[in-house]
């Protein structure tokens, strides 16, 4: 017992010494790194020294370390010859402006324009100001780039290999030394954003969102707003169609298809306008290894001629096709079996109601559809976790490859899981009344659960975080700034926009795949998106840590391709639904057409629509005229 107390006392003294060594007064806190209680102390000291030493030029990287007493069940039980920190360490990072300019220039932080609106590559001699968010982006680029130039092992962890060029921060994160690292919210900027965004009915302040959260998130909200506004004309047509009757459904579907094609084309133009305005239109994401990439050996990049970690590509392919692909197809098989089970249960409920008709039994026949919609939602959530783990295991070298493979996995399952039952009812069962009920139930349940999840769960997380902070306040002698940092550190992490786009992708399918049968879908989607804009802004401003800022020139190309493919599928599905609609029966009777002739007529219409798509894509350029002229001027300026 006495030895344990002595060990605890020594640990406290060492933490005090570490806190004393790094106790600089910080003008501002740009980034925070959390060190787990079970980290080896010498490793932490070595990493902090690397952070301070591994930069060129003048300027200082300022660090402040605060030890926090947290409940750690294994702290006293772990018997090891290495000395652990035993307390969670809060590393606050600030940086001289001169050094931040060095980082901004080294990592090509941004492209700016001079007074004559000419492009200027970032140069600290020409620009004397960085915004708060740009400072955070520059510092993030540096701390993620800290590495060794020779092959070694992680200090204090002799079994962990380090290759030249590998991000030490990511390895420490993988080995649970670093718990998390994140940028701090800026209270004054955040409060202004809350007032003009979360609680405002005006158009979104996209530029302010970009300045605070970065390009990637700003492009998501710009796309969400553009898509929401684009739903207004289909909603008006759908509302008028509601009074005309179902006979006009195919015409409503035809309008929606052409409107969908125009929407995607004009979004590309809007996206390029924003990319030029934000000076990211010519930025190509670096194809250097992403920070989380696990290299086995080192090689020389043929373009940069710098040493980079390399992982055998055949191992990635092996993991893709021998591990991920079979698991994904097994998940699709499970989704198919669940769908069949749902139809069996629903059929049994319908037969029971026929044998024993009553008001209660009539209601009972609707229960399987609602339960199935909830099950589909739950399966989607579980699969998202699985797909993320499978994708991480594949160890893709670049961020682009990593994102594309994850998006394909997500889209494949979500499309099958959400739309397979509807397509089954539409083209196999051919029960239009059941089809309308199925589409409406799936869409409404998905939207209700999504919005409740995005509001209630963040509120619950925030409440739980406040309780944890209250407990830590009693255990530690901390000032208000440190308490606020701890509070932010306990908030959930906003990983990326993957699942936000996925939610829109699924809704996009419900709205446009089945317009010929369920024309009210655009109205429901419009109402949902008006709520979605505010719920998404709420969770970012109130319930999540501030995300890492990433440069982007638009939404991920894989998402754009997915929406385009879905639009082509919408042409086929709506033509097919028109073929089995009551209107087609009327047309067949009027023109005395048999089924084969009707099918031939629908196929001709389908091909005409595809021809119009090609013509629109050819005639309407992705770059607006003003942007094309501006880019030409920029290129001329570079030549001179």
Question: For residue 501, what pLDDT is reported?
Answer: 94
Are 11 and 86 spatial neighbours (Cβ–Cβ below 8 Å)? yes
CA–CA distance, 501 with 275 (Å, rounded to integer): 19
Between 267 and 484, whose confidence is greater? Answer: 267
State the Cα angle at 254 between 249 and 257, rounded to 5°: 125
Distance of CA 298 to the CA centre of its chain: 31
In the chain, the percentage of residues whose pLDDT exceeds 70 is 84
Q: What is the pLDDT of residues 55-86, one digit of tens each?
A: 655 566 778 877 776 544 444 434 444 555 45
Q: What is the pLDDT of residues 589-634, one digit of tens each?
A: 878 888 888 889 889 999 999 999 999 988 999 888 888 888 888 7
Q: How confident is the model at residue 19 (pLDDT cuts 50, 70, 90)?
A: low
Average pLDDT, the chain: 82
Distance of CA 244 to the CA centre of its chain: 41
CA–CA distance, 599 with 614 (Å, rounded to integer): 23
Tracing tokens 């501006």 back to the chain, one arrives at: 630
For residue 40, give the DSSP letter. B
Domain ranges of the chain: 10-184, 206-287+398-639
Q: How far is CA 434 from CA 243, 336, 515, in A?
A: 21, 19, 15
Q: How far is CA 575 from CA 128, 488, 525, 566, in A?
A: 59, 51, 22, 14
**The pLDDT of residue 526 is above 90:** yes
Tracing tokens 């997380």 back to the chain, one arrives at: 461
Q: What is the pLDDT of residues 406-432, one digit of tens each?
A: 999 999 999 999 999 898 888 888 888
3-state secondary structure of 202: coil
383: part of which helix (H) or strand (E)?
helix 367-394
**The pLDDT of residue 317 is above 90:** yes
Strand 88-95 versus strand 157-162 pairing type: unpaired
Lowest mean per-residue pLDDT among 35-44, 83-92, 494-503, 531-540: 83-92
3-state secondary structure of 120: strand
Tokens representing 97? 């402006």
Q: By C-alpha distance, which of 388, 348, 382, 385 is closest to 367? A: 348
3-state secondary structure of 84: strand
Q: What is the pLDDT of residues 191-240, one digit of tens each?
A: 999 999 988 888 899 999 998 998 899 999 999 999 999 999 999 988 88
Q: How many CB atoms lie within 10 A of CB 605?
A: 15
CA–CA distance, 457 with 607 (Å, rounded to integer): 47
Cα separation of the two ends of the chain: 78
Q: How confident is the model at residue 391 (pLDDT cuts 50, 70, 90)?
A: very high
Sign of CA pseudo-dihedral 570, 572, 573, 578: positive
For residue 548, give the DSSP letter. P
Are 88 and 177 spatial neighbours (Cβ–Cβ below 8 Å)? no
Q: By C-alpha distance, which of 513, 583, 522, 507 is closest to 244? A: 583
Q: What is the pLDDT of residues 299-314, one digit of tens each?
A: 777 766 666 778 888 8
Nearest 10 degrees: Cα torsion 95, 98, 103, 108: 140
**The pLDDT of residue 153 is above 70:** yes
Task: Give the list of residues 6+ apart from residue 316 with CB closer than 8 angstroms, or none.
Answer: 394, 395, 396, 397
CA–CA distance, 227 with 5 (Å, rounded to integer): 62
Across residues 446-450, what is the average pLDDT? 88
Q: What is the pLDDT of residues 458-497, one digit of tens each?
A: 778 778 887 777 777 776 677 777 788 888 888 888 888 8
Between 294 and 235, whose confidence is greater? Answer: 235
Q: How far is CA 639 from CA 108, 349, 617, 627, in A?
A: 20, 74, 31, 18
Task: Give the list of residues 6+ apart from residue 161 with CB closer than 8 angstroms, or none.
Answer: 151, 152, 153, 154
Percent helix, percent strand, percent coil in the chain, to nearest 5: 65, 10, 25
Are 407 and 498 spatial neighbours (Cβ–Cβ below 8 Å)? yes
């Amino acid at each position: 017992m006495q030895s344990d107390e002595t060990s605890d006392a020594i640990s406290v003294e060492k933490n005090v010494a570490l806190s004393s060594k790094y106790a600089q007064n910080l003008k501002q806190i740009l980034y925070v790194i959390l060190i787990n209680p079970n980290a080896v102390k010498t490793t932490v000291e070595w990493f902090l020294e690397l952070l301070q030493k591994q930069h060129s030029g003048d300027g200082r990287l300022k660090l402040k370390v605060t030890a926090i007493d947290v409940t750690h069940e294994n702290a006293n039980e772990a018997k090891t010859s290495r000395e652990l920190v035993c307390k969670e360490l809060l590393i606050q990072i600030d940086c001289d402006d001169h050094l931040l300019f060095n980082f901004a220039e080294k990592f090509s932080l941004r492209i700016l324009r001079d007074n004559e609106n000419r492009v200027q590559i970032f140069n600290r001699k020409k620009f004397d100001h960085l915004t708060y968010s740009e400072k955070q982006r520059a510092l993030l680029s540096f701390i993620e780039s800290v590495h060794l130039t020779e092959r070694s092992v992680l200090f204090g962890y002799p079994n962990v290999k380090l290759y030249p060029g590998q991000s030490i921060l990511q390895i420490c994160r993988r080995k649970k030394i670093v718990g998390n690292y994140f940028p701090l919210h800026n209270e004054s900027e955040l409060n202004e954003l809350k007032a003009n965004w979360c609680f405002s009915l005006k158009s979104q302040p996209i530029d302010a969102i970009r300045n605070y959260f970065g390009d990637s998130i700003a492009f998501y909200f710009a796309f969400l707003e553009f898509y929401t506004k684009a739903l207004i004309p289909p909603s008006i047509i759908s509302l008028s169609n509601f009074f005309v009757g179902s006979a006009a459904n195919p015409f409503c579907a035809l309008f929606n298809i052409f409107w969908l094609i125009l929407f995607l084309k004009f979004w590309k133009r809007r996206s390029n306008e924003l990319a030029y305005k934000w000076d990211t239109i010519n930025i190509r994401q670096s194809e250097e290894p992403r920070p989380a990439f696990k290299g086995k050996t080192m090689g020389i990049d043929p373009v940069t001629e710098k040493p980079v970690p390399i992982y055998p590509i055949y191992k990635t392919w092996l993991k893709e096709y021998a591990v991920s692909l079979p698991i994904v197809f097994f998940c699709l098989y499970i989704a198919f079996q669940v769908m069949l089970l749902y139809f069996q249960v629903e059929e049994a409920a319908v037969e029971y109601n026929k044998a024993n008709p009553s008001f209660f039994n009539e209601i009972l026949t609707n229960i399987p559809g609602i339960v199935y919609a909830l099950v589909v939602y739950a399966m989607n959530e579980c699969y998202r976790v699985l797909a993320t783990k499978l994708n991480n295991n594949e160890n893709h070298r670049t961020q682009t490859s990593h994102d594309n493979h994850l998006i394909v996995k997500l889209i494949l399952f979500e499309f099958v899981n959400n739309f397979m039952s509807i397509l089954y009812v539409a083209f196999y069962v051919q029960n239009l009344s059941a089809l309308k009920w199925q589409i409406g139930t799936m869409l409404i349940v998905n939207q209700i659960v999504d919005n409740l999840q995005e509001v209630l769960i963040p509120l619950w997380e925030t409440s739980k975080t406040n309780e944890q902070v209250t407990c830590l306040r009693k255990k530690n002698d901390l000032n208000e700034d440190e308490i606020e940092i701890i509070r932010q550190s306990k908030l959930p992490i906003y990983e990326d926009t993957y699942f936000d786009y996925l939610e829109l992708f699924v809704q996009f399918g419900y709205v446009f795949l089945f317009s010929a049968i369920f024309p009210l879908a655009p109205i429901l989607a419009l109402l949902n998106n008006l709520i979605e804009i505010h719920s998404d802004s709420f969770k970012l401003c109130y319930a999540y840590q501030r995300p890492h800022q990433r440069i982007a020139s638009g939404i991920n190309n894989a998402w754009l391709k997915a929406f385009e493919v879905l639009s082509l599928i919408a042409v086929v599905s709506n033509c097919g639904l028109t073929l089995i609609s009551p209107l087609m029966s009327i047309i067949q009777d009027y023109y005395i057409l048999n089924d084969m002739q009707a099918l031939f007529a629908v196929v001709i219409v389908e091909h005409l629509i595809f021809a119009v798509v090609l013509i629109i894509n050819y005639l309407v350029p992705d770059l607006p005229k003003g942007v094309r002229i501006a880019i030409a001027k920029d290129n001329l300026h570079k030549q001179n």
